[in-house]
């Protein structure tokens, strides 16, 4: 059996399901960002923060919910989330008339909670962190007959995320063809949908492109597992990059990450905060911690990637005002 949960055909099929609902996001180049990074890098930023929910997870939600059979749509869906997956599922649910229940951990980002409620989702607050919340999801599935939309262990979710890389390759061909071809991508890993989606597309279409993964040092279970070549579960996931605050490896993505990644690194909270400020200064895009992590990773990898054309996925902008203030005043 393949280590990969989906094929390039699944990614293309997801793109067709998404196309009527979501416009392609911009792929931009910033001279100031290249200059700040040095090492002759040419960086292309894929602006997933420009979606209606300000994060790439909307692709995953639309891909998964448009693939559901009628009966499951009628009963409704449920997901555990720190916010962006929940917003993606809630947005797709509203679009398609599918009731959505989202389980979030206690103390979750209040602005993400408000956004999910505003999209019509029923919010259930339970569990001390994201992984803990999954048990509430399982109980509600048993009680209410809902369909779980797991943020990672679901091939249609990964196919949704794979459409980011399909779009990047098309945009490079259409808009950046006069420059060097893509040579590397640096991608943050929470559950691994973006990274495995990218690996699926690249191994079919551009197998020479290197893919580097990044986790926060305080939530590094998948990083640790990748280096140990076996799944690792940790007790804690401590990072202000809440989209990356996972503490286990996932069966839907771990084998493909092990098979496909060039390397897997971690970045500190200070490096993520620094990268967030750098994105603000050089691109003037609002950035949440999880989206700043790949830029922090690229800073660390820059000497190894000397002179290369690198794509970063700017995965989301849903940072709450208090965290943003702490980053801007260098408390983080």
Nearer Cβ to ligand PLP (39/326): 326
Taking residue 284's Cβ as centre, other Cβ atoms within 10 Å add up to 8
DSSP 22-52: -PPPPEEE-HHHHHHH-TT-EEEEEEGGGST
Cα–Cα distance measured from residue 319 to residue 275, given in angstroms and rounded to the nearest whole number: 14
Nearer Cβ to ligand PLP (73/153): 153
Q: Which long-range contacts (CB under 8 A, 24 or more apart) does 204-208 make?
A: 204/7, 204/8, 205/8, 205/169, 206/169, 206/181, 206/182, 208/183
* Among 98, 99, 93, 101, residue whose Cα is nearest residue 137: 101
Nearer Cβ to ligand PLP (111/175): 111
Binding site for ligand PLP (CB under 6 A): 55, 57, 84-85, 152, 161, 188-194, 243-244, 288, 290-291, 315-316
Query: What's the closest the beta carbon of residue 120 comes to ligand PLP, in angstroms?
Result: 20
Query: What's the closest the beta carbon of residue 242 comes to ligand PLP, in angstroms?
Result: 7
Query: What's the closest the beta carbon of residue 19 comes to ligand PLP, in angstroms?
Result: 21
Longest distance between any two alpha carbons in the chain, whole Å: 57
Query: What's the closest the beta carbon of residue 86 comes to ligand PLP, in angstroms?
Result: 9
* Among 222, 202, 99, 207, residue whose Cα is nearest residue 149: 99
Tell me whether residue 316 is exposed, middle or buried, using C-beta atoms within 10 angstroms of its C-beta: 0 to 12, 13 to 18, 19 or more.
buried
Cα–Cα distance measured from residue 148 to residue 158, given in angstroms and rounded to the nearest whole number: 15
Cα–Cα distance measured from residue 198 to residue 73, given in angstroms and rounded to the nearest whole number: 28
Query: What's the closest the beta carbon of residue 189 comes to ligand PLP, in angstroms?
Result: 4
Cα–Cα distance measured from residue 303 to residue 7, given in angstroms and rounded to the nearest whole number: 33
> Which residue has 């922090």 as its token pair?
296
Cα–Cα distance measured from residue 241 to residue 263, given in angstroms and rounded to the nearest whole number: 21
Query: What's the closest the beta carbon of residue 24 comes to ligand PLP, in angstroms?
Result: 18
Nearer Cβ to ligand PLP (288/320): 288
Nearer Cβ to ligand PLP (58/95): 58
Nearer Cβ to ligand PLP (106/173): 106
Nearer Cβ to ligand PLP (24/86): 86
Query: What's the closest the beta carbon of residue 244 comes to ligand PLP, in angstroms?
Result: 6
Helix (H) or strand (E) holding 93, with range, is: helix 84-96
Nearer Cβ to ligand PLP (182/214): 214
Query: What's the closest the beta carbon of residue 59 comes to ligand PLP, in angstroms?
Result: 10
């Amino acid at each position: 059996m393949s280590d990969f949960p989906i094929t390039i055909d699944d990614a293309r099929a997801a793109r067709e399901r998404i196309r009527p609902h979501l416009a392609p996001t911009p792929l931009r180049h910033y001279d100031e960002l290249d200059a700040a990074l040095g090492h002759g890098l040419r960086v292309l930023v894929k602006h997933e923060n420009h979606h209606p929910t300000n994060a790439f997870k909307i692709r995953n939600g639309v891909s998964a919910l448009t693939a559901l059979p009628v009966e499951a749509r009628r009963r409704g869906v449920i997901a555990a989330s720190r916010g962006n997956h929940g917003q993606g599922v809630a947005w797709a649910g509203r679009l398609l008339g599918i009731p959505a229940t989202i389980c979030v951990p206690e103390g979750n980002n209040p602005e993400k909670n408000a956004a999910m409620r505003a999209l019509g989702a029923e919010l259930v607050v339970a569990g001390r962190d994201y992984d803990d919340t999954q048990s509430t999801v399982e109980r509600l599935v048993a009680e209410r007959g809902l369909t779980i939309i797991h943020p990672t262990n679901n091939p249609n979710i990964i196919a949704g995320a794979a459409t980011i890389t399909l779009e990047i390759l098309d945009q490079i061909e259409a808009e950046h063809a006069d420059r060097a071809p893509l040579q590397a991508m640096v991608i943050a890993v929470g559950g691994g949908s973006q990274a495995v989606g990218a690996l699926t597309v690249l191994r079919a279409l551009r197998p020479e492109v290197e893919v580097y993964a990044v986790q926060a040092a305080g939530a590094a279970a998948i990083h640790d597992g990748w280096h140990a070549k076996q799944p690792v579960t940790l007790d804690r996931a401590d990072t202000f990059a809440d989209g990356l605050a996972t503490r286990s490896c996932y069966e839907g993505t771990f084998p493909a990450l092990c098979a496909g990644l060039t390397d897997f690194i971690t970045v500190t909270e200070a490096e993520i905060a620094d990268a967030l400020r750098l994105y603000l200064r050089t691109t003037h895009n609002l950035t949440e911690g999880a989206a700043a992590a790949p830029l922090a990773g690229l800073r660390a990898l820059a000497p190894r990637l000397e002179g290369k054309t690198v794509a970063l996925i700017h995965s989301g902008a849903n940072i709450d005002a208090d965290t943003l203030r702490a980053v801007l005043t260098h408390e983080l």
